[in-house]
Amino acid sequence: MIESPPDPRLARFEDLFTCHHDDVLRYFVRRLDIRADAADLVAETFLVAWRRLDDVPEGQILPWLYGVARRVLSNHRRGESRRHGLADRLRDDLRTAVPDPEPVAVEAAEVFKQLSDTDREVLSLAAWEGLDTTQLAAALGCSRNAAMVRLHRARRRLERLLDHTPAGAKS
């Protein structure tokens, strides 16, 4: 078997990575509140370095990497800001769109929580997502008849639990 000559680009990148990984990691750790993000941003920085290996200056490698890292961090912060803004808007929308539940609904929800995960999922797919038995079968990965039986049994178990709740919980 003939061995191919080593790739000079790969060797250069491996040397760049080995020599400067820890410096770039420290750069991110000093600037982030969530240290777990540092590893991802280091990887992203070195991905840019790999893609632009021909642009990496010979004598100024670390400053060049810091420039890449600065842009990667800036993009990360913008993305975080957008995600937090979206989450805040969604929370506000939910506060105004969903009224506080009635006491009876709260009690019924407590009864619903007593069901098994499987029963809750079957009932939720049918009631909340509006799936018919054919769609329910596809979602559950079973036959239509099996889906009908599961839904029927889950409804019966829910009825039994509701029958055993205080009179105020039934409507």
pLDDT (tens digit per residue) in 134-159: 998 898 889 999 999 999 999 999 99
The residue that leads in pLDDT, 53 or 89, is 53
Instruction: Report CA-CA distances (Å) from 76 to 30, 32, 73, 152.
Output: 15, 10, 5, 49
Task: Round the average pLDDT of the chain to a whole number and report it.
Answer: 86
pLDDT (tens digit per residue) in 1-59: 677 777 889 999 999 999 999 999 999 999 988 888 999 999 999 999 999 999 998 88
- Share of residues in the chain with pLDDT > 70 (%): 89
In this predicted structure, what is the pLDDT of residue 144? Answer: 94
CA–CA separation, 119 vs 127, rounded Å?
12
